[in-house]
Amino acid sequence: MRIGIAHHYGWAVAVSVSPDFQVVDRRRIELIEPGLPAAPIHHEGGIHDMHSSGEPLDDEGLAALIAKVRASVMKITAVSMDELVSALPAPITALAIRGWQSGFPKDIATQRRPPYESRADSIMYCQVLAEVAAERGWDICTYDAKNVEAEAAAILGPRADEVLHGPRTTLGPPWSKDHRTALAATIVTA
């Protein structure tokens, strides 16, 4: 089985599919413990006062917060993946996640400046998802979120509408763009 992920700050939609791209499971999974900032760099370390919840953090303070958030994300993502695995009828072979820029800066001073501060937190979630998948021996596949649904439709040809939109009819709501993106990711990375 393959899992496709469409993530957001602190949570994700996970769609699990059989080898013929039939949806076996779809669910929202948590990626962070409650009470922590889901986007520490963008909300607590970025340049926009409207996002911050308190006094601006210096680089050292922000680094400490990021370490705390990342540890929480690692823990909760692992728990969420284990719960998903236990609910599925077959082993997972691959996890499809949104790709990220190679060579993305690692130092906090750079990450907190535009254009990086708006992407750094999302990349952290992708990296943690990849680490959790690697720990379980799953293949890690990345996709381009902007084009993934069109790419999947091209691969599926005449079956595209049935495979990508059919689950809304067969499974019922919710079946949103996130669900289609996660499903499409399993197709283009197969």
- Write the pLDDT tens digit of every residue in 120-149: 999 999 999 999 999 999 999 999 999 999
The pTM of the full predicted model, rounded to 2 decimals, is 0.94
The DSSP-derived string for 126-180 is HHHHHHHHHHTT-EEEEE-TTTHHHHHHHHHGGGHHHHHHHHHHHH-S---HHHH
User: pLDDT class for 54, splitting at 50, 70, 90?
Assistant: low
Burial 24-41, CB ≥16 within 10 A → b, else e: eebeebebbeeeebbbbb
User: pLDDT class for 52, splitting at 50, 70, 90?
Assistant: low
Query: What pLDDT does residue 47 have?
Result: 64
**16-26 per-position pLDDT tens digit:** 999 999 999 99
CB 13 within 8 A of CB 178: yes
Of 29-33, 43-47, 50-54, 170-174, which range is least confident? 50-54
Strand partners, 94: 2, 139
Fold of 2-188: Nucleotidyltransferase; domain 5 (3.30.420)
CB 171 within 8 A of CB 23: yes
Please name the amino acid found at residue 123. I
Per-domain residue ranges of the chain: 2-188
**173-190 per-position pLDDT tens digit:** 999 999 999 999 999 999
